[in-house]
């Protein structure tokens, strides 16, 4: 019996090691992806600045009515900016706005922080590993950028003062 338990423990250790390696690899890939997104955003800003240089501005406003250089809303797939005072949740891409909305609702109701599976279900997504991992990546990015926090490993809550902006 001891040899069976010993073999099970060995396999468990090997599986845990593999999971840790994959998590490290995922974090490295996520970091690289973030860098490419930032690079694409910067190039887009330079490109847009070159195209809008011909637009007339009146009192710091563009023809569209936005303050020059201030994004009015995010597009799907856009970068999650670092949270700062006065920054509205509307600068986030729609899928991030949805996740933040769920965290804000939970905080307003006085509930406990949510885990990835719960957020996936509340977002109306199919609760399968691929969707849960997608939500986990979004939450980790929101935590890294200061929009949310992870008070307990695997549980996420809205950050202090981050209830949709100012």
pLDDT band at 37 (very low <50, low <70, confident <90, very high): confident
- Give the closest residue to 115 by CA, choosing from 144, 153, 163, 160: 153
Confidence (pLDDT) at 61: 40
- % the chain with pLDDT above 90: 41
Q: Round to whole Å and give the CA distance between 133 and 112.
A: 21
Residue 113 clears pLDDT 90, i.e. is over it = yes
What is the rounded average pLDDT of the residues 109-117? 91
Confidence (pLDDT) at 62: 41
What is the rounded average pLDDT of the residues 39-60? 63
Confidence (pLDDT) at 59: 40
More confident residue, 2 or 9: 9
Q: Round to whole Å and give the CA distance between 48 and 145.
A: 24
Q: Round to whole Å and give the CA distance between 62 and 123.
A: 36
- Give the closest residue to 119 by CA, choosing from 145, 156, 74, 71: 156
Q: Round to whole Å and give the CA distance between 141 and 115.
A: 15
* Residue/partner pairs of 62-65 with CB below 8 Å, 24 or more apart: none
Confidence (pLDDT) at 41: 79
List the structure tokens of 78. 């856009």
Name the least confident of 77-86, 105-114, 156-165. Answer: 156-165
pLDDT band at 56 (very low <50, low <70, confident <90, very high): very low
């Amino acid at each position: 019996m001891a040899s069976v338990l010993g073999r099970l423990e060995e396999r468990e250790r090997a599986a845990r090691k593999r999971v840790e390696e994959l998590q490290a690899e995922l974090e490295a890939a996520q970091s690289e992806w973030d860098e490419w997104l930032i690079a694409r955003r910067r190039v887009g800003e330079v490109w847009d600045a070159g195209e809008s240089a011909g637009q007339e501005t009146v009192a710091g406003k563009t023809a569209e009515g936005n303050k020059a250089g201030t994004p009015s809303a995010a597009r799907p797939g856009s970068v999650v900016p670092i949270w700062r005072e006065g920054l509205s949740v509307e600068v986030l891409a729609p899928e991030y706005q949805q996740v933040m909305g769920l965290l804000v609702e939970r905080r307003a109701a006085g509930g406990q922080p949510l885990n990835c599976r719960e957020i996936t279900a509340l977002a109306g997504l199919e609760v399968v590993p691929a969707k849960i991992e997608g939500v986990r990546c979004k939450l980790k990015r929101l935590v890294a950028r200061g929009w949310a926090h992870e008070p307990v490993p695997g549980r996420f809550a809205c950050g202090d003062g981050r209830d949709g902006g100012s």
